[in-house]
Structure 1
Amino acid sequence: MEIDKIKEMLEYRFSLTPELPQKRHIIFWYDSKKEFKDLIDGLNLENVKIIKLTKSIDKKGELIYTNIFKTKYTLEVEDTNSNYLIYSEYPRVIDSENYLLDIEKYSEFFEADKSAMIVEELKLDRTNYRFGEIIREYSSFFANKERREKLIKLIEKPEFLDEEEFKLSILAVISSAKILDIGEILKNIILNRNKLQDIEKWMNLDFLFSEIKKKFDVEVNSFEQFLKILMITHFYCELQKRPHINLENYFKGRKNELFIFTDSLLQNKQTSEIIRDEFYNLAKDLNIKEKIDELELDDTIKGTAFEYFDKVIIKDIVEIFDSEVIDYEKYKKYIEIRLDNSLWSEKYYSFYKILFTINDFFKLKDSLIIEDRKELRDIFKDYTKTYFLVDNIYRKFYYYYDQIKTNELSTLFNNIKTKIDKFYEVDYLEKLLALWSSKINERENLPQQRDFYKNNIEKYDVRTVVIISDALRYEVGYEISQKLRKEANVKEIKLDGMLTDLPSRTFLGMANLLPYKKERKVDLISGKVTIDGIDSQGTENREKILKATCEEASAISYSDFIEKMNRSKQEEFIKGKKVIYIYHDTIDAIGDKGKTENNTFNACEEAISNIVNLSKLLSSLGVVNIYITSDHGFLYEKKEVEEYNKLELKNRKYLSIGKRYAIYEKEIEEKACITLKLDELYSVFPEKNQRIKASGNGLQFVHGGASPLEMIIPLINYKSGANSKKISKVQVRIRESVAKITSNLTKFAVYQLEPVSIKNGFLERDIVVALYSGNVRVSDEKKLKLNSIEENSIHDFRLTLSGEHKKVTLKVIDVESGDILDSKEYDVSIGIASDFDF
């Protein structure tokens, strides 16, 4: 030890105010190992006198002190005011032979061994000898300066530290915990199991296990045993079931504390994956998979700690759906619970979304009737109100199915997939298309695509942008309008339907959306439309046509506007314009190619995202009035088209042919087709969903025909601006109840005040609920989705309270914003816990 350090330690001791009735410090220093005898003569202490006890050999040959009596006389007679350090390089003698014992009793002692130095370094209570013992017991830990420095930083008030807190601090440093909390220490050990070896090397595991006993009231002799207790307790507490007889030894202690600690590990992003892997390996030893297999779905739905829960739940729900005896609201709720609470929800997201879709499919299937309407106008209304949802659900099903089809669980959906295909083709398309075809001659009585500019653009004085997406059919447009209602700054949004001309092809649909002054010439054979002498194909030509009617007009492709322009260039492009057409092509670009038509539904999702984001961008650039529409829709079946759905035309004298139409100079008849007069020509169209055998790309994605899916296109009018009123989320209130908690496991409820309704401006809300003591959460946390379409609907949940509290507060918190939406204080009065008060 350096003399400067010893001097600092001694001067600090002498600087302290003496405890009454003493007026000075007398400190004895017995340096029995003679480690500092060479330093004592050079030790100069301010306002302190030093007496060095000396020894010599007497006549009997014994070593005795030679200045004991002189020292005693000095301290008690000659000088009773000065501070003294009494140093001896010899061990302290026994009390019966100690002539200075009476002075020692009202004096102090000093040690300069390593443990004492560390006590001084850590600024611990010097009068507590147990600190020195602990330091000596864990000497290998304290041998490292870096660990001591971490300990100094961790201990906030060392002068008030007790022995257990001191040992906990050492444990915290070894485990790299930032606070003195056994839960945090255990979390760090789980994050890095090497910490367990360090504890065993520098401290031993006994204290760790004693702290586990103190916190959770469980005795363990290994960390693996502790993890098994965590796993089994969480497993059965979450399911609210008694443990299997073979697992009772792992279901003990303070179950609430164990459950909430485990749940916090599982929910924490930092620890979740590691603890799940630990549980997976431990579960093999305890045969947890078998225990899950024994559960009913109503119980399994609550489980979160094992991925196997998700596999079993998906399998069970599919089997229920396959039976077609379905409580739609119940299973919708179950799927929502899994999406919100499963720790594997990201991995199984597409599975749960496809289950949602199947639930919606069977619900719609049970209620859908293709009514035998007398007028096409009524069929049009039925389609734009209800029937289109079948197309939407069919598309969603296959969009998610494509994402899971390589997973081994995808085979579970084989029967349902077959049912959906059959229903879509036979019970839906064949019936609807046959009915539509029978009334198609009345099509002029419906809103026409060719009247778009006259009816919508000419009447506006404000800047208007028209987004035209190739092959955007009505049901995809519906989804865009729904997303805009939820995500955008909406003042007004309307969705209507328009009817394309025939054949429902790009060249005709794109031309129909443009204005003309004098004449519009349509050549159905070459597939060309000339407007006032200008070919309507291509963005440049379309801009010329627009400018002929409105000088402050322009046209641009989506890719040029988004990918080739930054915001300042976009602002410059829009500046001074009255009418802007933006052409988007994602769906048709994918679907119209045989090699990529299988990706049609992926292209639809991409188109929805593109157009919603483009609309919001335009709104941010100051565009108030936006139209979203299309040139035509499409007919698409995911499965390969069967031979019976392929038509071989008998009359080969067509002027133009496609997969869904053939144009002739004269009127003809073809089996399973309808014949319509188009200006001076005639065309045949498949009556139902058949494809005409013709050269060219694939048969799954087609358009040009006379079905509502190809002819009815969306017309979305989205208005936004500074005065726009944002749609709001539903409000929530805690249900009134007795303000007292009498059980560790308590049922609560919240009211969802408004029904979810796009029309009335209320969106669903995700919340979390938990009990708090101050700002500290003292229960597990439940996630709820407030998405009921009923007013004042009730959402029930249970929370497990841990620890002892006089009062706690239930808080309802919005997941997105973190705002506390409602809170309520409860008195806690829990008697003897029952077997199910985990």
Structure 2
Amino acid sequence: MPATPVTTSRIHESLDSALARKRVVLWFDPNGEWASEFDDYQPAAAEKLRVERNEFSVKVAISRAPLDKRFLLYLPTAKPPEPDNWLLDLLLAGHEFTADRASLDIQEAGLTLEFKELAQQHKAFFRSPVRTTKLKELLRPNDNEAAVRLKMLAVLAKQPPDIDKLLLHVFSQLEPANPDGDDPVEALYGSQQLSGHFWKAVGEKFGYASPEPNLRDFAVGLFNSVSSIGPSGELLPHARVFLSIWKDSLSSRPAFEQWSDHLAGVLRVEEQLNDAPESYEPDDDDSYELIERFVLSRLLQRFQGDASDTELLETIRNRSSSCWFEKHQHGYRALEQAITFRGLLAKADLQVPSFEEGLQRYCNGWWRLDQAYRRCIFHARTYQQPGLLKPLRDWLEAQYVNNVLLPLTNRWSDRVAGLSNWGSSTLPRQKEFHMRYVHAPLSSKGLKRLFVVISDALRYEAARDFADRLNSQAGKGWQAEVEALLGVLPSFTQLGMAALLPGVQLGLNPSDSNALVDGQSAAGTENRDKLLKAYAKGRATAIKAEDFLSLATSKEGAELTRDYDLIVIYHNCIDRIGDKRESEADTCQAVEQTFDELELILRKIASLKGSQAVITADHGFLFQQEPVDANDRAEFPPASELSFKNRRFALGSGIKASAGQKVFTAGELGLSGSWEAVFPLGLDRFPRSGSGSRFVHGGTSLQEVVVPVIRLKRERKDESRVVEAELLRVPAKITTGKLSFGLFQLEAVEPKKRLPLQLRIGLYAKADGALLCAHRTVLLDSAASEAREREQQVVLELSNAAGDYNNKTLELRLEQLLPGVATPVPYKTVELKLQRPFGSDFDDF
């Protein structure tokens, strides 16, 4: 082998490395071709000795030398057989150096001579100093050829030396739907003669065998081995663990979805699901998105059938850990709300014994029916699967209109029809809002500044929903309580906004419906600002929500709180969207948007060091998603004059109420003036061209006139915490292929105090952290007071990879999943021993 400068340098570097590891290095050179390299080598801290028939004296010299002195022995002969080797003891304790290319390669990589044949087989790999250096960093003293090759595969793929991670990498490199795509296994490893070894490692871990192994064929076997639908695959149980890892990996998840979608078509999964018997239950199988669609479709069918609400809700809960659940959550949530609505309706007694009792019963619970209906519609529309959800929506619409709105509004209207004036002893009048919720708190010594948010058309059930969300979310910083007022009539924006302002006398101009407070116009933010400043001697202001949110906290925001003690923020989303014919269908979406915007406003208030706030509305609304029935249309009554007309009321004089209508004078409504107002009772709407009819307000229904007030206080300290979990009946040893145990939720979930806990559970080898089962995700969110109702049973199935850890310690790890945090947080770990009986090693005869 001709000695080039590069070769000489490599030899000297390899000798340095060998002498750094061993006290004595022996260099056999049978042809004497490396003599000059030996002579030129100048070790930093070792003595060079040439051995030529002086073995004994060399051994004596080494034995007498200090133990920290190192020696390089050059022998220009072939290595003799062990019986004839006088230096055998030195050879066994030291290191044998050879200078052929393969030997240099393995020595540079930190390998011993037993790997020389491996280096010769994969010459191309070792020609790169960068690859060799990276391999050296990965090697461990006890590595065998399989382990070394696995690390070579890892270096080439720039991945950890784990066959699961290498598989994830190659899956991400191939577009499954592209039949002409290059095989990433061959592209990565073919030129290094490592493709076969890659598939050998896959075979050992998964039991995969094929005359011509390739990624597409393996993928088919993988999904068939894990999925509950289609032909049974033949791969080992580790296939389930691998698929769990694949789905859980944020970086690899897109590739999983691509392969899953592609294979669903190749394997005709949809046809098999269509032909599946009624007894088929996917359980927690989420290998294909089609299974998620199948489960949801079947649940919708069973909702219309004889399935109990408990069964339906338990199935939804079990599917919540599916990797496809988030994509289909609005479909599931729509069904959940329909189930809630059905349960509420079954228990509801919608009788209205009196006007006062009607108000009381609505505030005590009837509003929940409106809320469940709205939520269901929101999720159904957001899911954007109208064909799938049409039966559910048709059922919901019929039930809500025919069994809630019609009977309730009709019975309530009977009580309204008997009133001589508009007022209540059960609920305070809306006109009292300012004195109760603004003037009184600001007059107390403990409050310097108050923020009031008036959200147009935020009806009572929506306000309860928003308050519940605030109270159930840890760290939001607001404690919310909801009260109710009896809104003014007509229940529309101009008058409702005026009723919330300071002043003595409310009035209404019957010709244009403009509202007046003590004779001054209350229309628009500017006029309301004037009325507020007059009340507070300049220390109050009115501002639109969008302007408030755009304030720079450090400058304009600071000036706002410096100059004003009362800051009234006018927000308009629900009414702006619902009150237009072209957008009224989006009313339920507008309510959810309002919640988001109100949270932004509260966050802004908190940044301005606001400690108290009040959220209220000018009026509520009646809403049904589908077009109004023709029978719910009323004609305007005879009158001397009808100066202003609305869907739910009209203003004028000399009005002669027709059947199903109610007339109040201005005085009977507590307003100044000599005009009259007529209201269609029940669900009736007056005809108005160009305006919508599904979203209406202005009338007398409970949904329109029960106005919410949310009182909010900043919490000084977040005292909430997640519930705790305890493991039950965990065995000290695992003797079968399954681990079964109980998981107990120590306390009930309670809003703002004890929050749900979500855990990811897995079984790992303690020695190297290998995952030995598919992950299980468990949600502990029970509010049950009975302890036995808060226990869940968990079963983990061990993969075949667990066989390598028999008689070794395993770890049962519980990790907490936090919203918005990709990496789970360690929660609890329990050690246990895997001790499979020897009989499990035998096959059946």
Pairwise same-fold verdict (TM > 0.5): yes
Match of 1:30 in 2: 30
Q: 1:436 aligns with which of 412, 417, 420?
A: 412
Kept in 2, the 8 Å contact 1:732–1:821? The answer is: no
From 124, 140, 152, give the equivalent of 1:170: 152
Pick the aligned partner of 1:545 from 531, 538, 547: 531
Query: CA separation of 1:6/1:752 partners in 2, compared to 1, >3 Å: closer, same or farther?
Result: closer
Moved more, 464-473 or 768-777: 768-777
1:610 to 2:610 alignment: no
Kindly state the Cα deviation for residue 665 of structure 1 after the two structures are TM-superposed: 1.0
Q: Does 1:348 align with 2:337?
A: no
Deviations 1:503-533 (A, max 9, x none): 111111111111115x444323332233244
Quick check: 1:331 aligned with 2:312? yes
Aligned partner of residue 676 in structure 1, secondary structure: strand
Distance 1:115 1:527, change over 3 A: same
Residue 168 (structure 2) aligned to one of 184, 187, 194: 187
- Decide which moves more: 283-292 or 668-677: 283-292
Instruction: Return the alpha-carbon distance in structure 1 between the equivalents of residues 828 and 561 of structure 2.
Output: 45
The letter for the 2-side match of 1:173 is V
Work out whether 1:358 is the aligned partner of 2:345: no
1:281–1:605 distance in 2 versus 1, CA, 3 Å? closer
User: Is the contact made by 1:28 and 1:104 (CA closer than 8 Å) also made in structure 2?
Assistant: no
**Could you tell me which of 224, 234, 248 is aligned with 1:251?**
234
2:301 is aligned, of 307, 319, 322, to: 319
Segment drifting more, 265-274 vs 622-631: 265-274
Q: Residues of 2 paired with 1:636 and 1:834: CA distance?
A: 68
Compared CA separation, residues 78 and 572, structure 1 to 2 (3 A): closer
Q: 1:377 aligns with which of 328, 349, 356?
A: 356
Structure 1 pair 218–478 and aligned structure 2 pair: CA distance change class (3 A): same
CA deviations over 1:742-781 (Å, ceiling 9, x no partner): 43223332223333343x8444333333334546654322
Map 1:707-786 to 2 at 5 A.
Answer: 707-722=701-716, 724=717, 726-736=719-729, 740-758=733-751, 761-774=753-766, 777-786=771-780
Question: Could you say what secondary structure the match of 1:346 adopts?
Answer: helix
Shift of 1:809: 4.5
Pair 1:398-2:377 in alignment? yes
Q: Is the 8 A contact 1:490 1:727 kept in 2?
A: no
Residues 595 and 49 of structure 1, relative CA distance in 2, 3 Å threshold: same
Asked if the contact 2:553–2:607 (Cα under 8 Å) also holds between the matched residues in 1, the reply is no
Per-residue deviation, 1:538: 2.1
Instruction: Report what 2:399 is aligned to.
Output: 423
Deviations 1:650-686 (A, max 9, x none): 5263121101111231241223322223323322211
Determine if the alignment matches structure 1 residue 211 to structure 2 residue 187. no
Q: Secondary structure at the match of 1:30?
A: coil
Aligned to 1:795: 792
Residue 356 of structure 2 aligns with an amino acid whose one-letter code is R
Q: Could you tell which deviates more after superposition, 538-547 or 646-655?
A: 646-655
Cα distance, 1:289 vs structure 2: 4.4
Residue identity opposite 2:779 in structure 1: K
Is the alpha carbon distance of 1:658 and 1:139 closer, same or farther for their aligned partners in structure 2, counting shifts above 3 Å? same
Distance 1:334 1:297, change over 3 A: farther
- The separation in 1 between residues aligned to 2:59 and 2:332, in whole angstroms, is 90
1:796 counterpart SS class: strand
In structure 2, C-alpha distance between the alignment counterparts of 1:11 and 1:252, rounded to whole Å: 48
State the match for 2:433 in structure 1. 452
Task: Look up the equivalent residue of 2:368 and give its one-letter code.
Answer: L
Tell me the CA shift for residue 647 of structure 1.
2.0
Contact (CA 8 Å) 1:528, 1:535: kept in 2 or not? yes
Amino acid at match of 2:597: N
Aligned to 2:676: 682
Q: Quote the residue 2:624 is aligned against.
A: 637
Q: Tell me, in whole angstroms, the C-alpha distance in 2 between the residues paired with 1:220 and 1:598.
A: 57
State the one-letter code of the partner of 2:11: I
TM-score by length of 2: 0.84
Please tell me the residue identity of whatever aligns with 1:815.
Answer: L
User: In the TM superposition, what is the alpha-carbon distance from 1:281 to its structure 2 partner?
Assistant: 3.9
Q: Please tell me whether the aligned partners of residues 227 and 285 of structure 2 are also in contact (alpha carbons under 8 angstroms).
A: yes
Cα separation, partners in 2 of 1:429 and 1:743, compared to 1, 3 Å: same
Q: Distance in 2 between matches of 1:318 and 1:718?
A: 39
Residues 298-309 of structure 1: pairs in structure 2 closer than 5 A: 299-309=281-291
What residue identity is the alignment partner of 1:264?
I
Contact persistence 1:515–1:545 (CA under 8 A): yes
Question: Which residue number corresponds to residue 388 of structure 2?
Answer: 412
Aligned-residue offset at 1:711: 1.1
SS class of match (2:482): strand
Q: Give, in whole Å, the separation in 2 of the partners of 1:640 and 1:102.
A: 102
Which amino acid counterpart does residue 676 of structure 1 have in structure 2? Answer: F
Inter-CA distance 678–439: structure 2 relative to 1 (3 Å threshold): farther
Per-residue Cα deviation, 1:338-393 (whole angstroms, up to 9, x for no partner): 2x32222232122122121222222223222311x221111112212222122212
**Structure 2 residues not aligned, in runs of 5+:** 63-70, 175-182, 668-673
Aligned-pair CA distance for 1:586: 0.8
Compared CA separation, residues 79 and 798, structure 1 to 2 (3 A): closer
Tell me which residue corresponds to 1:673: 661
CA distance, structure 1, for counterparts of residue 73 and residue 143 of structure 2: 28
Q: Does 1:235 align with 2:227?
A: yes
Equivalent residue letter for 1:524: P
Contact 1:734 1:824 in 2 (8 A): no
Aligned: 1:504 with 2:497: no
Q: Counterpart amino acid of 1:614?
A: I
* Aligned match of 1:816: 818
* Displacement after TM superposition at 1:12 (Å): 6.3
Q: Give TM-score scaled by structure 1 length.
A: 0.84
CA–CA distance in structure 1, aligned partners of residues 497 and 42 of structure 2: 101
Amino acid in structure 2 at the alignment position of 1:414:
K
**By how many angstroms is 1:227 displaced?**
3.3
Match of 1:138 in 2: 122
Contact 2:729 2:741 in 1 (8 A): no
CA deviation after TM superposition for structure 1 residue 721, in Å: 4.0
Judged with a 3 Å threshold, the aligned counterparts in structure 2 of structure 1 residues 435 and 395 are, in CA distance, closer, same or farther, namely same
CA distance in 2 between partners of 1:787 and 1:388 (Å)? 25
Query: Are the aligned partners of 1:734 and 1:749 in contact in 2 as well (CA < 8 Å)?
Result: yes
Cα distance between partner residues in 2 of 1:118 and 1:454: 89
Q: Which letter does structure 1 place at the counterpart of 2:558? A: E
Q: Which residue of 2 aligns with 1:525?
A: 511
Q: Return the offset for 1:629.
A: 0.5
Matched letter for residue 455 of structure 1: R
Question: Shift of the alpha carbon at 1:173?
Answer: 1.4
The verdict on how the C-alpha distance between 1:310 and 1:26 changes in structure 2, with shifts beyond 3 A counting, is closer
Deviation at 1:330, TM superposition (A): 2.2
Letter in 1 for 2:10: K
- The answer (yes or no) to whether the contact 1:483–1:612 under 8 Å persists in 2 is no
Question: 1:60: which partner in 2?
Answer: none
Alignment coverage as a number of residue pairs = 777
Separation (CA, whole Å) in 1 of partners of 2:47 and 2:776: 67
How has the CA–CA distance of structure 1 residues 744 and 571 changed in structure 2, closer, same or farther, with 3 Å as cutoff? farther
Cα 1:581–1:50 change in 2 (3 A) is same
Change (3 A) 1:762 1:283: same
User: What's 1:693 paired with?
Assistant: 687
CA distance in 2, matches of 1:834, 1:86: 51
More displaced, 357-366 or 776-785? 776-785
What amino acid sits opposite 1:438 in the alignment?
D
Task: Give the deviation of 1:821 after TM superposition.
Answer: 5.0
CA separation in 2, counterparts of 1:763 and 1:310? 28
Deviation of residue 210 (structure 1)? 3.2
